[in-house]
Structure 1
Amino acid sequence: MVPSNIGVYEIIEEVGKGPSAIVYQATNKNTHKRVALKVINASLSSDESLITDLQRSVVVSSSLEHANIAKVYDLGEDLSYHFIASEFIDGVALQTLIEHYKKFDIDHACRIMQEAAKGLSFAHKQGIFHGCLHPGNIIIEKQTGRVVITDFGTSRALFTHNSELKNDSKRLGFIAPELSSDSAPDSQSDLFSLGAALYYMVTGERPAPGLVSTPGAALPQMPRLRAHLPKAPIWLETLVARLMASDPIERDCSAEDFIEEIEVGLESDKNGVSDMAPLGENPFQSQERRSDS
């Protein structure tokens, strides 16, 4: 059982649990600031290479200051517990919202992904990449609707050192195929994840691990977006298919390109899809945040 105090942090409550860590809402006793405190499982804390990778990731990602990225504050150890302290976002994970609504209105889904892309764009310009982006670590803040990417860098480190995470179907469908060999992430692998998340939001179908959109690829072909959503505009299907190509060169897209192509597409086609989550409905009613760990 985790003690009520770890380092300078006072535990308030558990907010999430996963294969690699338990996440708590906590307070920094010196600054009185609320934080998300991710306490690494004991079985992983003994992995020195993981701790080294996490230290490196925290040093890099802590430099990111952007509205669409959760700020990383600290990596520490106390009472044999290794922990990561980051900005606490009082919100709901996109994964939870998709499970609740099944599908999202195309315009709403695209606007959410544009906001996430703004965070990626900022990080990519600093040469920093997420490497393990999926709907579980994209949070929608309750009060403001702000879209926030969490676990920058640290999620990838945990993924590469945890065999249970590597076999987690909730994550694998969103991770670019070139990262399966523990290759270093880059902008194109993050854009793959963005495209996969958008596919999931508008179709309600989770991308299966190993399925990609490139015809003739060595891996099985992913069903086209319009196979699930016949009324979807062709520009959206084309964009998502390109982002989820098995070959990173075929994606040929920056986060800024993604934002612009979405904007142009939405302007060119105003037709909505009536059987999806309406924009006016409160997505947080009876929902609790599900933190990715």
Structure 2
Amino acid sequence: MTSSQYPNVRPRRLRRTPALRRLVAETRLHPAELVLPIFVKEGLSEPAPIASMPGLVQHTLASLRKAAHEAVAAGVGGLMLYAVPEERDAIGSAGVDPDGILQRAIREVADEVGDSTVIMSDLCLDEFTDHGHCGVLRADGAVDNDATLEIYGEMALAQAQAGAHLLGLSGMMDGQVGFVRRALDAAGYQDTGILAYAAKYSSVFYGPFRDAVDSQLKGDRKTYQQDPANGIEALLEVRLDLAEGADLVMVKPAMSYLDIVRQIADVAQVPVAAYQVSGEYAMVEAAAANGWIDRERAILETLTSIKRAGASVILSYWALDAIRLLG
């Protein structure tokens, strides 16, 4: 809109100073919306660096307690726990063992921080199986959906008993939310919530995470994780998970699926989470290490884009960095 002499509308007026930009910002990040994923590995005597995720480590139980305390003191909204066992087998027995490494980690964190943050646990078999798949396998090598649900039910009870507030169902088995919800309710854990990985895509951006959990994966997960080409299917998955009792729904990864985050946020009547995954983290860290990108600006810009797309909860390995930058 201009006259013959000058513009009638000047949006730049509200961009002129940092104070003006801050005043009219449409999207704001808050520490309470950020969840820090943390890895713990059985048998370590000291934290072990994760080569493909610079700055991150696999924790011991002792260092996990310290990390949890520091994260809560910084103001994170929650902690998502992943565990790496010393021994694996075909059915992921360590995942259901009350004294398995994940259940021990949950108890340690619960003892350290109690209800001062939200303790979340990954409910999936991939860290615990010797084949690296998210479920048990049939004789032909395919993942057996319904047999896997039975184990998920056992895992849910073990994690709830250990003290997890939210169970992160990430395996993408059909019916997993309903099965776990019924198992929890029948055992008296009606107050334990479910964070459903409703739209989890078969993505190349999970690569560094597999280093973090010492993945034993053979093959791929394309028969149960979503095809990156599909969007309508994500809405179907969300509707099913909500009908089965999900308390939150999540999109994973975040960066390449912001359109899916937006579509789900427009229809879901529960909080929508998004996971800024290991590959997103590793790319920025690598570019920053080479001087090709401003690391701090990239952290805040990527997180802001996820929030702007509609996520009200963001899982990010930069949660503590972001809180520091938000000041």
TM-score, normalized by length of structure 1? 0.28
Bigger Rg, which one: 2
TM-score, normalized by length of structure 2? 0.26
The answer to which structure, 1 or 2, has the higher relative contact order (CA under 8 A, 6+ apart) is 1
